[in-house]
Chains A and B, each alone.
Chain A
């Protein structure tokens, strides 16, 4: 994705755009919700089977189920999971690509309506990146909301089960996770800063490639090939430095593992994609909701 200066900012907020995409194919979206949630919640079954299994081998608790009924439960869980996954994939591909075509159709239609000079705010190359990356970002974000719903359900059920087993234990398990979520949120703004820097540095690299190859003749005439590539190397080096810290930092605070941290990034990406005015996002608002979904991850 590229950040362009001087491009007009549309007035529709991102969430409204997302909502409209969902309303365009509500049934497919719903199938996806159900499919993903079923698949996710069914992962509780193997965990539960494990617990029953260890209960019965250790003799700590009365064995309520025989070995064979546990095996059957395991297989039943597998079948449910397969069904959920089937529904999820069958729904999300048409949802995403039909939404993309809708957006592309509207964008192209608008461009063809406008008088020539006004139609493209950027070069055709940059415009293509809108048709490709930005359009791709939006429906996948909408679908990703289903992950939040599914994980939330999973966490709620898990929390209830855990609470009924042992409330104190549940709280003890909850505390370090809450700390991790807080750390992730504290790190989010820093990561966002690195990301923006990386995107800017990356934009400099690609637009310099376009500049030097657009000016190939002038560069050759001036015998400046080596010097120009020297400058290119400097830009590459800048990008290396800013891109370097993002993945390890994410790994360190576990943003890549925890949906809450991801929400901020995903929303940010979608907002940049939509060129919406509300590009700033504060992950904290969603923390309460996310704490739940972090629980058993």
Chain B
């Protein structure tokens, strides 16, 4: 590991562990206590053995034996208890720290511009915000304390044995160093194989994911055999990698077995030799054998922890890569927008999601305040894109967009938050969350009180619908709003906008047909929404178009026609006139 990497990881640790100082201190205390007990316990057994053997020659020592046994059992129970508490505290730290990280990261990503969101599927975001971070949890919860603890345990064992005999102690020290080096070396050669395994698995599953999303195409193109062949190809590759990884594991586990036997050989030989010289008691021989037996455990734990760090490092790198992304939408000024309804001005606006393919070309128009603009055009003519630019979900490649009352303000000069707060939008498909109706209405804003929600519900005539819900505002909506009809979802979205009280409304009208009752309800709601506000409606229905003061018809990103509705409707040469004659739906949907 390079130095700057270590620094970065340390910074990461400090940032997220600082708020948990007390828990970390407690965990440290607990881990050190377990180490102490692990060192003390075999000493009790030694006393037990030596006393028992002595009892055979010098008479009754039963009370001593019983006390030794009780102490041993008590110590074992305390050890078990402490390790339970330590596990709890460690888990707690891990979850708190990583949840903090998850929230930060999700907020950061959610605030990135739409180009980012178009390139990253929700499925991928699950992997990056949850999957990658799970690997980091161990790093937060355990790494430093476990490594430090086990290193101390190793030193402790060697020091305790030093009190018995320096030769045995140094033999064990040499053994420890050899084992540590072998473990480290084996892990290092195993890691590239481990990464190759991950890659082979990732290839297989991204292949599967791709083809599961397009099963109809596969059948339609008769590609079933091709897909199966590829499944076998990727699986074979994965199997080959796993077998290679398994071969490494054989070496690793084999080495573990060899080291273990080596340790036993060292302990038996040393113990046997010392005992036959009459230098130590049987209890001490046991002590030596016991400590040697247990020494591989901390060694293994230390290398294990380092392997976890490798995993965490991969996770941290991926998290940092996300943090490094900046939104393309930058705040350039802090101008404010006037209260009340707003004028809208487009000046020679050109924009394309990909620079070479403009979706809007040289669009210019002015919409006075409180007037309503009906936008018409075929699918793909740029209607929705036009509305997205107003929110600065994207910035135009050329030209500028202004809002205002008296004087115009370029929207790039306004704080994004302020800008989006002054524009309300209802889209065709309403995004609902699996949460309560209240949370869906307020977008999880707890500051909006029920006293503010209820009048809006009454005004939009939603009272009857709310009363029908089993728990009123507290009713939980099912995933993707599957428990709501399209009309109800739209009304919910209207309520959201009403609560926001914006100066400009953008309404992307639903093209689907609704039942007449809901249709009337929505029509009335639209009327109330647009009262004293400027409105831009992407219209699909004649009734909605008739609300508009002005009409804008787009074709291939260019303005084909723009003017007052009544004037256009009476002009037999206008495109709008022709549309009214043929019927909107056939042409526009």
Residues of A within 8 A of B (CB): 46, 49-50, 53-54, 57-58, 60, 67, 70-71, 74-75, 77-78, 81-82, 85-86, 89-90, 93-94, 97-98, 100-101, 104-105, 108-109, 111-112, 116, 119-120, 123-125, 127-128, 131-132, 204-233, 236-237, 239-240, 243-245, 247-248, 251-252
Contact = CB atoms under 8 A, between A and B. Distances in A.
A209 B208 contact: no
Contacts of B35: none
Contacts of B88: 244-245, 247-248
Given A112-B218, A225-B107, A210 B123 contact: yes
B444 A251 contact: no
Contacts of B111: 220, 225
B235 A97 contact: yes
Contact of A216 (B110, B232, B264): B110
A150 B393 CA distance: 62
Contact of B130 (A85, A209, A218, A233): A209
Given A220-B391, A226-B107, A209 B129 contact: yes
A50 B289 contact: yes
A120 B212 contact: yes
Interface in B326-361: none
A35 to B, nearest CB: 11
Contacts of A108: 208, 211, 227-228, 231
Nearest to B480: A211
A4 to B, nearest CB: 10
B219 A112 contact: yes
Contacts of A74: 261, 264-265, 268
Interface in B207-248: 208-209, 211-213, 215-216, 218-219, 224, 227-228, 231-232, 235, 238-239, 242-243, 245-246
A78 B258 CA distance: 7
Nearest to A127: B212
B272 interface: yes
Contacts of B265: 71, 74
B385 to A, nearest CB: 12
A97 B120 CA distance: 30
Contact of A221 (B258, B425, B435, B446): B425
A212 B91 contact: no
B420 to A, nearest CB: 5
A209 B480 CA distance: 13
24 contacts: A54-B282, A57-B272, A74-B268, A75-B261, A81-B257, A82-B258, A85-B253, A93-B242, A97-B235, A104-B231, A108-B211, A112-B215, A131-B205, A209-B130, A212-B110, A213-B109, A213-B125, A215-B433, A222-B496, A227-B444, A229-B103, A237-B99, A240-B95, A244-B92
B261 A78 contact: yes
Contact of B212 (A124, A210, A220, A236): A124
Nearest to B445: A227
Nearest to B286: A54
B391 A221 contact: yes
Nearest to A132: B205
B103 A248 contact: no
A204 B126 CA distance: 11
Given A82-B257, A131-B208, A233 B99 contact: yes
Given A82-B257, A209-B129, A220-B420, A119 B122 contact: no
A209 B434 contact: no
Contact of A124 (B209, B289, B496): B209
Given A89-B249, A207-B434, A229-B106, 4 more contacts: A104-B208, A105-B228, A216-B117, A247-B87
B421 interface: yes
A89 B245 CA distance: 10
Given A111-B212, A120-B212, A128-B208, A233 B444 contact: no
Interface string B88-119: 10011001100100110011011100100100
Contacts of B84: 248, 251-252
B434 A57 contact: no
Contacts of A50: 264, 289
A206 B227 contact: no
Interface in B248-285: 249-250, 253-254, 257-258, 261, 264-265, 268-269, 271-272, 275, 282, 285
A227 B439 CA distance: 10
Nearest to B131: A206
A83 B430 CA distance: 63
A239 B95 CA distance: 9
A240 B122 contact: no
Interface string B107-151: 101110010010011110110011000000000000000000000
B215 A213 contact: no
A105 B213 CA distance: 16
B88 to A, nearest CB: 4
A248 B85 contact: yes
Given A57-B271, A75-B261, A112-B219, A232 B103 contact: yes
A252 B110 CA distance: 41
A228 B443 contact: yes
Nearest to A46: B264
Contact of B268 (A53, A116, A225, A227): A53
Interface in B436-456: 439, 442-446
